[in-house]
Amino acid sequence: MLDVQVVRNDFPILARQVASGARLVYLDSTATSQKPLAVIEAMNDFYRRSNANIHRGVHTLAEESTALYEQAREKIARFINAPSARQVIYTRNATEAINLVVYAWGRSQLKAGDLVVLTEMEHHSNLVPWQILAAERSLELAFIPVTEDGLLDLDAYRSLLERMPKLVAFTHVSNVLGTINPAQEIIRLAHQAGAVTLVDGAQSVPHLQVDVQALDADFLVFSAHKMCGPTGIGVLYGKAHLLEAMPPFIGGGDMIKEVKLRSFRPNVLPHKFEAGTPAIAEAVGFGAAVDYLSGIGMPAIAAHEREMIAYALDRLEEIPGLRVFGPPAEKRGGVAAFVLDGVHPHDVAQILDREGIAVRAGHHCAQPLHEKFGIPATTRASFYLYNTCEEIDLLVDGIYKVKKLFG
């Protein structure tokens, strides 16, 4: 069991007062999570004691820095049960990780007429890069439909697989609907059709116990900043044979084994895809975040979030004129996107902010999904390991204040 009051003490920002003295109620972890003291101190300690460039020096600081950087990679590999840390590639974020696959794998493996299957609930990060490649290579894009209750239409998916796509790329957990997609089944069916799979784990790895070997995922991407780590760093996991066959993504220092004036030989994994000076302190912070989450336990975090979303849906459904999008609590993560009759989502968010309540408003980088439901935007509240039922009650009270203000 997760002791949420003990957890909250680990996050200094949660003690902050905002909006005329109101206590901060942070309900925007789907956008970015808050950081525990352990992460903040790990990065601070790195800069105070061990800051140096990696893989390039033999002096004490360079060796310490390199060790910390690579130890973090080992921790991340264990966290997702990767067969080897060589298969964990540091990127700037999940978006860059998807682009790496698009440009390094997609450009070398896809040709005119090839089919790529995505879903209607994708974040723009898993739409736009494929659209760019499709325009460049004359690829065909097809989409698994989303049902009215916010689930993927798996019968339609099976029909798409009869067309033998080369790739199936999908979000594990929707950042709008909260839908937890059946990743293992989607991947199994894709492999039966001969397709490679990419899983956008930006909203699943921070909240669920994700095992890449159990999923049999070919590629998985996620970001540190959504899982109590720093911004500016993410991960691409890939199966070794795919990564080894892919050409480099970005050229420069550290991604080479040998350079001539007119040719080069790329480095081995993972360095082949990590050109230039990386986000070293951020990797140290990432490792500290993984240690923190592992110490609490991902099953405990997932159970706490199930409790939070079930309570939130019950309370939100009490409010007249409010509609929450997505499936029931047992099929979703800690995300509740909603509209309130007669009030623009941005107005809802601004008024809640006056009460110290931080939520998100907009299309959440998922415009096609909002168009699917015939709305321009939603207000989104999202929950993590440090949120409480009391904060959900404050959210509901705040929404009633919005209704009163708008009559």
- Among the listed residues 124, 365, 368, 406, the single catalytic one is 365
Q: What is the 3-state secondary structure (H, E, C) of the chain?
A: CCCHHHHHCCCHHHHCEECCCEECEECECCCCCCCCHHHHHHHHHHHHHCCCCCCCCCCHHHHHHHHHHHHHHHHHHHHCCCCCHHHEEEECCHHHHHHHHHHHHHHHHCCCCCEEEEECCCCHHHCHHHHHHHHHHCCEEEEECECCCCCECHHHHHHHHCCCCCEEEEECECCCCCEECCHHHHHHHHHHCCCEEEEECCCCCCCCCCCHHHHCCCEEEEEHHHCCCCCCCEEEEECHHHHHHCCCCCCCCCCEEEECCCCEEECCCCHHHCCCCCCHHHHHHHHHHHHHHHHHCHHHHHHHHHHHHHHHHHHHCCCCCEEEECCCHHHECCEEEEEECCECHHHHHHHHHHCCEECEEECCCCHHHHHHCCCCCEEEEECCCCCCHHHHHHHHHHHHHHHHHCC
Average pLDDT score, the chain: 97
Answer left, alpha or beta for residue 228, where phi above 0 means left and psi between -120 and 50 means alpha. Answer: left
The answer to whether the beta carbons of residues 200 and 171 sit under 8 Å apart is: yes
Which domains, and CATH codes, for the chain? 4-28+297-405 (3.90.1150.10), 50-295 (3.40.640.10)
- Relative to beta strand 322-325, strand 335-340 is antiparallel
Residues 6+ apart with CB under 8 A from 406: 342, 343, 347
In this predicted structure, the answer to whether residue 364 has a pLDDT above a threshold of 90 is yes
Q: How far is CA 371 from the centre of its chain?
A: 22
In this predicted structure, the answer to whether residue 1 has a pLDDT above a threshold of 90 is no
Q: Which residue, 376, 227, 383, 385, is CA-closest to 313?
A: 383
pLDDT digits (tens, 9 = 90+) for 212-258: 999 999 999 999 999 999 999 999 999 999 999 999 999 999 999 99
The answer to whether the beta carbons of residues 242 and 218 sit under 8 Å apart is: yes
Average pLDDT of the residues in 269-287: 97
Would you state the pLDDT for residue 19?
Answer: 76
The answer to whether the beta carbons of residues 33 and 206 sit under 8 Å apart is: yes
Q: Which two tokens stand for residue 90?
A: 């540091």
Work out the number of other CB atoms within 10 angstroms of the CB of residue 71: 14
Would you state the pLDDT for residue 407?
Answer: 82
Would you state the pLDDT for residue 297?
Answer: 98
pLDDT digits (tens, 9 = 90+) for 132-183: 999 999 999 999 999 999 999 999 999 999 999 999 999 999 999 999 999 9
Whether the model clears a pTM of 0.85, i.e. scores above it, the answer is: yes
| 228 given a catalytic annotation | no
Would you state the pLDDT for residue 163?
Answer: 98
Residue 20: band (very low, low, confident or very high) from pLDDT cuts 50, 70, 90: confident
The answer to whether the beta carbons of residues 83 and 73 sit under 8 Å apart is: no
Q: Which residue, 216, 105, 95, is CA-closest to 167?
A: 105
Q: Which two tokens stand for residue 373?
A: 């439901």
Q: Which two tokens stand for residue 43?
A: 């990065």
